[in-house]
Structure 1
Amino acid sequence: MTMTTPALLFPAISLLLLAYTNRFLVLAQLIRQLNTREGGQVRDMAKRQIENLRQRMFLIRSMQRWGVISFVLCTLSMFFLFMQWGLAGQIAFGASLASLMLSLLVSLYEIQISCNAIKIELESMEQEQA
């Protein structure tokens, strides 16, 4: 294995972290809008949304954490390979891939939670029309 193998992951991990940061910023904006819209009186639908938002914030933080760990391990892998420590480089690269996979799996779960949030919003709209 050469240093170029882990180097191939750098752009992918960087873009993934950027996407996670965007999700975080959008979620923060949604929370602020919900706070402004609801004010002091929180409806039942808003309470459900708040719980959903809390869960999503936790998951996004976890996604980011595993992504950063993957990035660090990928960098370590390149360093180990540069130092001619092949086995250590391969182990670090494998751990980097495992961390990246965990990050993606958490992301998949967060997407599911996000869809549930949209369902809650649709229910709220249906109740307002009735």
Structure 2
Amino acid sequence: MTITLTTPALLFPAISLLLLAYTNRFLALGARVRELHSQYRDTPDIQLQGQIANLRHRVVLIRNMQILGVSSLFSCVFCMLMLFAGWEILGKLVFALSLVLMMSSLTVSLRELQISVRALHLHLSDFDELTPTSNK
């Protein structure tokens, strides 16, 4: 299989969009952590403490997603440098590494998404208890 300079360049838009999405998630979580921390300082509550712990874990996952995504982008650029220098075999290996890093980033993203959805279900569970069920 022949690999050219344009092959790793195909990943640039995907990686850039992923990093933008990860950054947006990070900023939203950061704002929520600050809000809950302020509430907890005013009125300490075990439920708020649990939510903050959950958000802390998710922030670490998002940081790891970003590190893997940036590493994937760096590997793509390094791959292009290797191909430009004429080192096709090394370029292929580095490109394979960038794909593995991208897959790892997406895997961590899936895990963070699962935790996020579970947290939302827990948050809405008291709403389900308050809402009367309709018998049809």
% identical equivalent positions:
47
Q: CA RMSD in A?
A: 1.7
Larger Cα-atom Rg = 2
Between stretches 41-50 and 66-75, larger displacement belongs to 41-50
For residues 67-106 of structure 1, what are the structure 2 equivalents within 5 Å? Answer: 67-106=69-108
Report the TM-score, using the length of structure 1 for normalisation.
0.92
User: Which residue is 1:25 aligned to?
Assistant: 27
Contact 1:45–1:124, Cα closer than 8 Å, also in 2: no
Does structure 1 residue 14 correspond to structure 2 residue 26? no
Indicate how the Cα distance of structure 1 residues 126 and 36 shifts in structure 2: closer, same or farther if over 3 A, else same: farther
Contact 1:66–1:99, Cα closer than 8 Å, also in 2: yes
Aligned residues between the structures: 129
Deviation at 1:99, TM superposition (A): 0.2
Moved beyond 4 Å, runs of 4+: 124-127
For residues 56-75 of structure 1, what are the structure 2 equivalents within 5 Å? Answer: 56-75=58-77
Indicate how the Cα distance of structure 1 residues 116 and 106 shifts in structure 2: closer, same or farther if over 3 A, else same: same
User: Which residue is 2:134 aligned to?
Assistant: none
User: Which residue is 1:112 aligned to?
Assistant: 114
Matched residue of 2:86: which SS? coil
Separation in 1 of the partners of 2:125 and 2:47?
Answer: 8
Separation in 2 of the partners of 1:37 and 1:121?
Answer: 16
Task: For CA contacts below 8 A with separation 6 or more, give which structure has more relative contact order.
Answer: 1
User: Which residue is 2:51 aligned to?
Assistant: 49
| Structure 2 residue corresponding to 1:34, chosen from 33, 36, 61 | 36
User: Which residue is 2:125 aligned to?
Assistant: 123
Deviation at 1:125, TM superposition (A): 4.6
Contact 1:66–1:102, Cα closer than 8 Å, also in 2: yes
Matched residue of 2:74: which SS? helix
User: Which residue is 2:5 aligned to?
Assistant: 3
Report the TM-score, using the length of structure 2 for normalisation.
0.88
